[in-house]
């Protein structure tokens, strides 16, 4: 993620200092960036001069102390609270008092990271989506101790970097990784119960919902282990709320190292010559699958609205610009009818008698 963020900053003219504890990684990342910029120039998306200019804006650093002159540090190292905290504490001794310190963490509380600093007010979450140069969304997350003005300043900076920023509360998963959970979780549940196959579920979501990828295709792309780990973190951090309960099927897939594209096999087979099975189309089943997953997603968006995790506009933007949803979920709910979403969830609740299907108290009021 680090090199992607560096590319974004350098493209908008910032001088970037790139540091990784493993300098071989920095070298590899810079080589990859050179290739990416070369391809962009070849496709005439940017001029050769611009590609050189971007590359020359990035300075390869071998010591953390090389970041001394920075006005803003965006940390994108390993997702481990202790390691991140150590780096932030070291940074505090190196950078000026005015320097803003931020983290690209996907799952660690911003408040908990900031609380370990001498000056927590200058700390904020700046969460990019992968690949950072291509995905427009950036979630800005002020923690409880963050200076109130800082989130707005970072919002403007991200706009200047050509991004679509949104401001999110410091809750597990922030906006996107929280609201999107049922896209995977409910799909896994339907497959586990042998109601529909992964191929059918993907096909239903693409044909009825216009999603670019189905849940299983997307999990294979993200990495089944990564997706499983995000789900586990959100579940734990919401004090084991049954809504976010992880799937046993996903755990078994992770254990078997059937992780998706990166291992050549996940829910689909990516080995050479492997043929993708065509799903057996079934209109009624597809409608059931689609309504079940979309109702869970809309319910999450409505609950996020109720809790003020972000304003309506940001909630809608986040899902479209961070994970390519074809529509904002609140608008989608209105289109399908919130009463239909509520009825679908009520039927699931009655069938399974599980908290998983509880409705946001706001859903029936919309």
Residue from 31, 83, 248, 256 touching ligand NAD (CB under 6 A): that is 83
Residue 76 binding ligand NAD, by CB under 6 A: yes
Residue 112 binding ligand NAD, by CB under 6 A: no
Residue from 15, 23, 25, 89 touching ligand NAD (CB under 6 A): that is 25
Question: Binding marks (x or -) toward ligand NAD, 121..140, rule CB under 6 A?
Answer: -------x-x----------
Nearer CB in complex with ligand NAD: 174/244:
174
Integer CA distances (angstroms), 359 to 13, 279, 293, 303, in order: 47, 31, 14, 8
Question: Is there a contact between 241 and 360 (Cβ–Cβ < 8 Å)?
Answer: no
Residue 109 binding ligand NAD, by CB under 6 A: no
Nearer CB in complex with ligand NAD: 84/292:
84
Residue 66 binding ligand NAD, by CB under 6 A: no
Element (H, E) at 200: helix 198-209
Q: What is the CA radius of gyration of the chain?
A: 22
Q: Which residues are tagged catalytic?
A: 106, 127, 139, 177
Q: Environment class of residue 226 by beta-carbon count within 10 Å: exposed (0-12), middle (13-18) or buried (19+)?
A: middle
Contact stretch for ligand NAD (CB under 6 A) within 76-84, 111-119, 208-216, 301-309:
76-84
DSSP state of 269: B
Residue 77 binding ligand NAD, by CB under 6 A: yes
Tell me the sheet residues that pair with 124. Answer: 102, 142
In Å, the largest CA–CA distance within the chain is 63
Question: Is there a contact between 30 and 18 (Cβ–Cβ < 8 Å)?
Answer: yes
Taking the C-alpha atoms of residue 332 and residue 300, their distance in angstroms, rounded to an integer, is 13
Question: Is there a contact between 122 and 100 (Cβ–Cβ < 8 Å)?
Answer: yes
Taking the C-alpha atoms of residue 85 and residue 178, their distance in angstroms, rounded to an integer, is 24
Residue from 43, 44, 49, 78 touching ligand NAD (CB under 6 A): that is 78
Residue 105 binding ligand NAD, by CB under 6 A: yes
Residue 79 binding ligand NAD, by CB under 6 A: yes
Nearer CB in complex with ligand NAD: 47/112:
112
Residue 20 binding ligand NAD, by CB under 6 A: yes
- Residue found under tokens 């990416």: 36
Helix (H, G, I), strand (E, B) or coil at 25: helix
Contact stretch for ligand NAD (CB under 6 A) within 53-61, 71-79, 139-147, 322-330:
71-79
Residue 104 binding ligand NAD, by CB under 6 A: yes
Give me the residues that bind ligand NAD (CB under 6 A), please: 1-2, 20-22, 25, 76-79, 83, 87, 104-106, 128, 130
């Amino acid at each position: 993620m680090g090199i992607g963020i560096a590319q974004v900053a350098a493209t908008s003219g910032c001088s970037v200092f790139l540091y990784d504890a493993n300098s071989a990684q920095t070298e590899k990342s810079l080589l990859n960036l050179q290739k990416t910029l070369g391809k962009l120039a070849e496709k005439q998306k940017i001029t050769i001069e611009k590609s050189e200019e971007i590359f020359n804006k990035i300075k390869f650093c071998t010591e953390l102390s090389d970041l001394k002159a920075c006005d803003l540090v965006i940390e994108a190292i390993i997702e481990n609270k202790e390691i991140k905290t150590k780096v932030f504490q070291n940074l505090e001794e190196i950078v000026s008092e005015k320097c803003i310190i931020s983290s690209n963490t996907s799952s660690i509380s911003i408040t908990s990271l900031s609380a370990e600093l001498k000056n927590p007010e200058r700390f904020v979450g700046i969460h990019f989506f992968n690949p950072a140069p291509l995905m427009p969304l950036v979630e800005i997350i002020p923690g409880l101790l963050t200076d109130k003005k800082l989130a707005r300043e970072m919002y403007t900076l991200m706009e200047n970097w050509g991004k679509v920023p949104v401001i999110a509360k410091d809750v597990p998963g922030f906006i996107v990784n929280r609201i999107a959970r049922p896209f995977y979780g409910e799909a896994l549940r339907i497959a586990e119960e042998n109601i529909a196959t992964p191929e059918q579920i993907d096909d239903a979501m693409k044909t009825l919902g216009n999603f670019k990828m189905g849940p299983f295709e997307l999990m294979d792309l993200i990495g089944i282990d990564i997706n499983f780990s995000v789900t586990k973190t959100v579940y734990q951090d919401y004090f084991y709320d049954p809504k976010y309960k992880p799937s046993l099927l996903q755990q078994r897939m992770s254990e078997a190292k059937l992780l998706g594209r990166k291992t050549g096999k996940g829910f689909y087979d990516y080995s050479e010559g492997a043929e993708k099975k065509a799903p057996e189309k079934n209109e009624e089943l597809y409608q059931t699958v689609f309504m079940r997953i979309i109702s869970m997603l809309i319910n999450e968006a409505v609950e996020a609205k109720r809790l003020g995790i972000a304003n309506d506009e940001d909630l809608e933007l986040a899902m479209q610009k961070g994970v390519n949803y074809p529509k904002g979920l609140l608008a989608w709910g209105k289109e399908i009818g919130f009463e239909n979403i509520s009825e679908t969830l009520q039927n699931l609740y009655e069938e399974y008698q599980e908290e998983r299907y509880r409705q946001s108290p706001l859903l029936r009021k919309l």
